[in-house]
């Protein structure tokens, strides 16, 4: 995926923060692209504002792991991108 510039990262993070999603603290999987996460993890829809910033994220969900935003393919539960804090 394309890297976000500083302004986009700030917009992205504030859009996610407004959703009030609770971050996961202790996870038993690595935060690397291609890693499959357990299907027991609840995914959250990306808000439309995020898809406007990064159109490639259309159709993907996300989770928060500590302060990182982790973009997930809801069909395979694989990590497609990690936006660090």
- The answer to whether the CB of 39 falls within 8 A of the CB of 23 is no
Is pTM, for the whole model, over 0.85? Answer: yes
Residue 53 in domain: yes
Distance CA 2, CA 47 (A): 18
Q: Tell me whether residue 1 is in a domain.
A: no
Residue 8 confidence (pLDDT):
81
**What is the residue range of 64's domain?**
6-83
The neighbouring-strand residues paired with 70 are: 63, 82
Higher-confidence position of 16 and 36: 36
CATH number, residue 74: 3.10.450.160
pLDDT bracket for residue 19 (50, 70, 90): confident
Confidence band for 9, pLDDT divided at 50, 70 and 90: confident
Span 27-83, pLDDT tens digits: 999 999 999 999 999 999 998 888 888 899 999 999 999 989 999 999 999 999 998
With vertex at residue 68, the alpha carbon angle to CA 81 and CA 40, rounded to the nearest 5 degrees, is 75
Q: What is the count of structural domains for the chain?
A: 1
| CA–CA distance, 35 with 18 (Å, rounded to integer) | 27
């Amino acid at each position: 995926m394309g890297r976000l510039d500083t302004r986009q990262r700030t917009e992205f993070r504030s859009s996610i923060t407004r959703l009030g999603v609770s971050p996961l603290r202790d996870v038993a999987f690595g935060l690397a692209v291609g890693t499959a996460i357990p299907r027991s993890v609840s995914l959250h829809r990306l808000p439309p504002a995020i898809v406007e910033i990064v159109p490639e994220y259309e159709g993907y969900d996300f989770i928060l792991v500590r302060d990182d935003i982790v973009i997930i393919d809801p069909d395979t539960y694989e990590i497609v991108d990690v936006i660090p804090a």
